[in-house]
Amino acid sequence: MNKDPQSATQAIVKWRQLLGDEYVITDHEPLKQASTATFTTSATVIAILKPARDQVAAAVAVAAEYSLPLYTISSGKNWGYGSRVPSTNDSVLLDLGRLNDISGYDPEHHLVTVGAGVTQRQLADFLLAQGGMDWMDCTGSHPDCSIVGNTVERGFGHTPYGEHANFIGAMEVLLADGRIIKTGFGRFDGAKASGMYKWGLGPALDQLFLQSNLGIVLSITLWLMPKPEQFVAFYLSAPNETALEQIVAALVPLKRSGVITSLPHIANAYRVLGGMQQYPWPMFSNHPVQFPLHGDVLSQLKKQWQVGTWNVSGALYGTKEQVANARKQVRRALRTVKGARLNFISDSLLRFIEIFQKPIAFITRMDIPGMLKVLRPVHNMMKGQPSAQFLTSSYWRMKTGPDGRFDMDKDNVGLIWSAFVAPADAKNARQLMDIVDTVLPQFGFEPAVTLTLLNERCIDAVVSISFDRTASAPDGKSWDELALQCRDKLYQAMFSHGFYPYRTDVGKMAEMVHCGDPQYLQVLADLKHALDPQGIFAPGRYIASASEKFTGAVSN
């Protein structure tokens, strides 16, 4: 990369001419913000570009001319994994937020094309406005998060269309030399099945551009889920720690036989409580705080919110008969979970609870309005309606919650997400959880985890390290420092047990691009060399530099 500061200055002049001053940001404050994530990072941003769709290639050409690294963001809300912070120092951020076009909605074949800047909220609203006959799969992240941004990171949601990488019909990709290609059948003029048949003819390229720096994904043609005839959510909470094994053992066969087609989420108490409230600071006004929270206080919160040690949220989708049948089978299977409460909540039951929340609260002596604050968003999310509710759990250790603008980076929220994949069985789920339960408390963090049945064979465990970046940690340490140490120890422990990440934060990139079989790493570098020989795109993101040479044995 070019280290001459002159060239950056010259490039910025060109970008200003190209995009207009308004869309080339070089002021100190926004650049500082863009270099701030929810944990300690080091890379800085020297400019932010906000091109329109037809300016992106020209903006990239300038970067190539001056050999400046470009780091692409869509909405920039990659919270917990690095926000907008680039993988290499002195990067120029390429913000694709203006590529927010929704096009080509095809209700007959259930597809739609979204630009890189289209947010969850935007697509959900669009589909509702079109009659609501197709649902998107959304994640628990913010409604203003980009769909393409999540998909290119191989994010996942909750519905039968939850493993996003599987539901890409086609993509438009900009390459480093300015070429724009359409994947799948998009290569052929007027191909009717374009976007419907995803592989195209010859090698299929889509997956090359996920978790990648080989090209910039400008748009994705998404497969949408036809609104099912019937939808019922189900929730289970179980009191015992060993419920985890029982839940996994009960749900996996249902997933394998297709009774459950969606992605059930299994969350421990810490994870769920984070969505209900913040750390109970007032309860510690007279005692030293607990890091992590445990014992009686934890029990009290669990009781107050009716939260189990383990909690499942899932949903059944299908025809009326399919759902009725699945409901019976889910009930039967989960009966094996000792002491568990299982509830099925349909649209109409939820409405009933909402209408009669006061009397129900009176009778049950439970905080029904408080619960509805979470229940309604979860219910809606599993029907493709995003909500900001879930991310509030990231404010767990903060003294105040998010305000309307919801800017975790600016709010000094501390958050690192680490996501590991385990075989979908009780033994592995337990082994993985034991690691989390051991490592996180050592550093003073609550071991908050969600395990998702990603498909019939895998569990994806997302571990949250939550903290307040402005607070001081015990013994004069910094939470920022503890969080990175904890994350590193967690990775190490996971690796030594054979659990690897499906996705990684920007701070772990440098290590991960050198992790694994050197022959494999070399192939990635070869591909980088073929498609981006100058290394303009996000250097060091998921792929090491094209010029590196890998030799020797597997290193992890």
Q: Contacts with a second copy in 448-487 (CB under 8 A)?
A: 454, 456-458
Segment 383-402, which members bind a second copy (CB under 8 A)?
none
**Between 126 and 500, whose beta carbon lies closer to a second copy?**
500
Provide the b/e sequence for 64-85 (b: ≥16 CB within 10 Å). Answer: bebebbbbbbbbbbbbbbbbbb
In angstroms, rounded to a whole number, what is the distance separating the alpha carbons of residues 459 and 262?
A: 13
CB 430 to a second copy: min, Å = 13
Nearest distance from C-beta of residue 270 to a second copy, angstroms: 24
47 binds a second copy (CB under 8 A): no
Residues across the chain? 556
State how far the Cα of 69 lies from the Cα of 60, in Å rounded to an integer: 10
What's the DSSP call for residue 24? E
Backbone angles phi and psi of 493, in degrees to 5:
-65, -40
Instruction: Figure out which of the listed residues 322, 357, 412, 478 binds a second copy, where binding follows CB under 8 A.
Output: 322
Which residues pair with residue 172 across a beta bridge? 182, 219
Residue 214 contacts a second copy per CB under 8 A: yes
Question: Where does this chain touch a second copy (CB under 8 A) — which range of 60-68, 234-242, 462-470, 513-521?
Answer: 513-521
Rule CB under 8 A: is residue 66 a binding residue for a second copy? no
Residue 14 phi/psi, 5° resolution? -65, -40
Choosing from 77, 84, 121, 182, the residue that interacts with a second copy (CB under 8 A) is 182
Tell me which of 1, 25, 372, 527 binds a second copy, using CB under 8 A. 527
Q: Which is nearer to a second copy, 281 or 520 (CB)?
A: 520
Q: How far apart are CA 188 and CA 175, in angstroms?
A: 19
Q: Rounded to the nearest whole angstrom, what is the least distance from the CB of residue 298 to a second copy in the complex?
A: 30
Q: How far is the CB of 44 from a second copy (least distance, A)?
A: 24
CA angle, corner 438, sides to 311 and 250, nearest 5? 30
Cα 477 to Cα 455: distance, rounded to the nearest angstrom: 40
> How far is residue 412's CA from residue 541's CA, in Å, rounded to a whole number?
24
CB of 252 to a second copy, least distance (A): 9
Q: If binding means CB under 8 A, how many residues of this protein chain bind a second copy?
A: 95
Please give the residues from 84 up to 143 whose contact with a second copy meets the rule CB under 8 A. 108-111
Considering only residues 324 through 383, tell me which ones interact with a second copy, judged by CB under 8 A. 325, 328-329
434 forms part of the interface with a second copy (CB under 8 A): no
Q: Say whether residue 512 binds a second copy (CB under 8 A).
A: yes
Annotate each residue in 221-240 with x if it binds a second copy (CB under 8 A) or - if it does not, as one string.
Answer: --x--x-xx-----------
Answer yes or no whether residue 256 interacts with a second copy by CB under 8 A: yes
Question: Cα dihedral sign for 202, 116, 196, 158?
Answer: positive
How many other CB atoms are found less than 10 A from the CB of residue 54? Answer: 8
CB 180 to a second copy: min, Å: 7
Closest approach, Cβ 291 to a second copy, in A, equals: 31
Give the N- to C-terminal CA distance of the chain in Å, as an integer: 28
Closer of 213 and 311 to a second copy (Cβ): 213
Dihedral pair phi/psi, residue 216, rounded to 5°: -110, 120
Q: How far apart are CA 470 and CA 413, in angstroms?
A: 8
Asked if 186 interacts with a second copy (CB under 8 A), we say yes
Tokens of 149: 């941004």
Interface with a second copy (CB under 8 A), residue from 191, 342, 473, 493: 191
State the nearest-atom distance from the C-beta of 150 to a second copy, in Å.
14
Interface with a second copy, residue 199, by CB under 8 A: yes
Select from 105, 126, 197, 344 the one that contacts a second copy (CB under 8 A): 197
By CB under 8 A, tell whether 179 contacts a second copy. yes
Distance CA 48, CA 23 (A): 8
State which residue, 394 or 534, has the beta carbon closest to a second copy.
534
- Distance (Å, rounded) from C-alpha 516 to C-alpha 550? 10
* Residue span 280-319 as binding mask against a second copy, x where in contact by CB under 8 A, dash where not: -------------------------------------xxx
Alpha carbons 255 and 66: distance in angstroms, whole number: 51
- Which of 422, 435, 465, 538 is close enough to bind a second copy by CB under 8 A? 422
Residue written as token pair 């989960």: 334
What are phi and psi for residue 80, nearest 5 degrees? Answer: 85, -20
Helix, strand, coil proportions of the chain in percent (round to 5)? 40, 20, 40
Alpha-carbon distance of 58 to 64, in angstroms, equals 10
Interaction of residue 522 with a second copy, rule CB under 8 A: yes
Query: Is 214 within 8 Å of 532 (Cβ atoms)?
Result: yes
Pick between residue 319 and residue 492 the one whose CB is nearest to a second copy: 319
Residues 537/214, Cβ–Cβ less than 8 Å: yes
Cβ 190 to a second copy, closest distance in Å?
Answer: 5
Applying CB under 8 A, among 39, 135, 209, 467 the residue interacting with a second copy is 209
**Cβ within 8 Å of residue 84, ≥6 positions away:** 34, 35, 37, 45, 71, 73, 76, 78, 93, 409
Residue 553 beta carbon to a second copy: minimum distance, rounded to whole angstroms: 9
- Based on the shown chain and the rule CB under 8 A, indicate whether residue 192 belongs to the binding site for a second copy: yes
Segment interacting with a second copy (CB under 8 A) among 81-89, 301-309, 342-350, 494-502:
494-502
* Residue appearing with tokens 């060109």: 14
Closer CB to a second copy, residue 300 or residue 519?
519
Minimum Å gap between C-beta 549 and a second copy is 13
Q: Are 501 and 461 in contact, with CB atoms under 8 Å apart? A: no
Cα(146)–Cα(51) distance, rounded to whole angstroms? 16
